Structure 1
Amino acid sequence: MGSKGGCGCCSCLCGCLFSCLLSLIFQILFTVLVILALAAFIFWLLFRPNEVKFYVTDASLTQFNYTSNDNTLHYNLALNVSIRNPNKRIGIYYDRIEANAYYQDQRFDTETLTPFYQGHKNTTVLSPVFHGQQLLTLGSSEVSNFDSDKNNGIFGISLRLNIRIRAKLGWIKIGHFKSKIKCGLDVPLTSSGTSSASPFETTRCSFDL
């Protein structure tokens, strides 16, 4: 009888210890979550990060010819891309910038731009130039769209930037982050410095982390 009572007491003690251990673990996890949430709130109060803004402020298209017999696009496109860092305490390292030009969802050129650091509340202008010729296979409906754009004097061209960035918070650097910037542009074709269409309008791009 005494032996059975001893085992019962042992089981009860083990159960209490296990319960106390679980309670301690939950308390530690809860404390860690509270600390992390508080740290994130303090970070936001100190730095108040704002989204970097991308605009295409100017576009010059002096050649955009497509020959269907050899499926070749001849092009000469120059852009000015304005990047605004509105943050007061956050600097940004642009470690890699890949600029891609698309027409009717087909890429016709890629340019790699020079990496740079952008300080607080700073605006930087990039000037990618796409020039050359590229094999581009357009179907009959796409060729019809091209002819329509040519008649209107405005081509729907998409600029897509693939960038890899790091953030600088005081002396701390964090990253790397990969981001995609998309800019849907209506670019007038100019000839001899003049265009029959409306001038290019500054276009804001979408930012996607």
Structure 2
Amino acid sequence: MEDPNRPVTGYPAPNPHPNGYSANPPPSGAAYPYAAAAPPPNAYYNYPNNNAYYPQNYQYDPESVRRANCLRRIFAFVIGLVIIFGTVTFIVWLVLRPQLPEFRVDSFSVSNFTLGNNSLISFTSEIRLTARNPNKKMSLAYDHIEAVIFYKSDSLSETTVPPFSQDTKNETSLTANFAAAGSFVDKSVMDGINGERGKNGNVDFNLRMLSRVRFEAKAWRTRNRFLKVFCGDLVVGIPADGRPGALTGGPKQCRVGI
């Protein structure tokens, strides 16, 4: 007969210690199979030394603060002056409305025009112009006026024009006299002039002028500026028999810029 206290095959043996603890705990000082690692010191409060960032010997310097405040005031003052000056200039411009002068070539005569085989050119010329001041509230003063005659981009002769002044809404007649006595020119210039004269007896010249100009309105005046005047396509008929040549097509308006 089978023993009733014998465990059934296939089931775990009953735990003699139902509370999960051994009746004979390990002696004091014995190591467990897995020893718990000790936490690192200051694991959550290991901050760097604050003295590296906030030196204990820092002292408040009132002199540095005063210098910084002084520089800020100077900077703000300069910015304010620039804004005020710009505003005043803009208001003056709105009130006065300065406009560039206008130039027109009225006549262009050429005499004693000769162009030799040795690329030497000779002639005398007189150009009459009209300068107009379109401003209603500003007068103009011209100084150091230079004028040059060009064939295409090559200079043939240059001269100066006496300085003059213009009141508001005023027109002034100018005369520029040129002379070339045996001036050397490139072969391309000689061929170009002879080619144009051979077609219809006309030669296309250009006039350029450079002057210093000053705008004035009672107590207010601008600094001197360089005024550039370009008068292109000045077609002059030059007869082959030596007679004086003259501008064809009537007066020519010029381009003006600063």
TM range (shorter): 0.7 to 0.9
Aligned residue number for residue 56 of structure 1: 105
- 1:145 and 2:192 aligned: yes
Aligned residue number for residue 32 of structure 1: 81
Aligned residue number for residue 102 of structure 1: 150
Deviations 1:49-91 (A, max 9, x none): 011112213223344331123x221223222212111111211
- Structure showing greater radius of gyration is 2
Q: For the residues of structure 1 that align with 2:181 and 2:148, how far apart are their CA atoms?
A: 14
Higher relative contact order (CA 8 A, sep 6+): 1
Q: For the residues of structure 2 that align with 1:54 and 1:206, how far apart are their CA atoms?
A: 8
**8 Å CA contact 1:188, 1:200 repeated in 2:** no
Q: For the residues of structure 2 that align with 1:128 and 1:194, how far apart are their CA atoms?
A: 16
- 1:88 and 2:136 aligned: yes
Aligned length: 200
The one-letter code matched in structure 1 to 2:212 is: R
More strand by share: 1
Q: For the residues of structure 1 that align with 2:135 and 2:212, how far apart are their CA atoms?
A: 18
The one-letter code matched in structure 2 to 1:83 is: A
- The TM-score, its normalising length taken from structure 1, stands at 0.80
Q: For the residues of structure 2 that align with 1:170 and 1:154, how far apart are their CA atoms?
A: 47
Aligned residue number for residue 127 of structure 2: 79
Aligned residue number for residue 115 of structure 1: 163
Q: For the residues of structure 2 that align with 1:187 and 1:82, how far apart are their CA atoms?
A: 18
**Percent sequence identity over matched residues?**
23
Shift of 1:10: 2.0
Q: For the residues of structure 1 that align with 2:170 and 2:251, how far apart are their CA atoms?
A: 19
Shift of 1:97: 1.8
The one-letter code matched in structure 1 to 2:148 is: N
- The TM-score, its normalising length taken from structure 2, stands at 0.66
Shift of 1:166: 2.6
Deviations 1:98-132 (A, max 9, x none): 22222243333222222211111111121223245
Which of the residues 237, 241, 249 maps onto 1:200? 249
Aligned residue number for residue 176 of structure 1: 224
Q: CA RMSD in A?
A: 2.8
Q: 1:76 to 1:55 in 2, by over 3 A?
A: same
Q: For the residues of structure 1 that align with 2:245 and 2:114, how far apart are their CA atoms?
A: 17
Q: 1:194 to 1:76 in 2, by over 3 A?
A: closer
Q: For the residues of structure 2 that align with 1:16 and 1:163, how far apart are their CA atoms?
A: 53
Aligned residue number for residue 60 of structure 2: 10
What are structure 1's unaligned runs of at least 5 residues? none
For the residue of structure 2 that corresponds to 1:200, the secondary structure is: coil
Aligned residue number for residue 44 of structure 2: none
Q: 1:171 to 1:18 in 2, by over 3 A?
A: closer
Aligned residue number for residue 90 of structure 2: 41
Aligned residue number for residue 184 of structure 2: 136
Shift of 1:190: 4.6
Q: For the residues of structure 2 that align with 1:132 and 1:10, how far apart are their CA atoms?
A: 80
More helix by share: 1
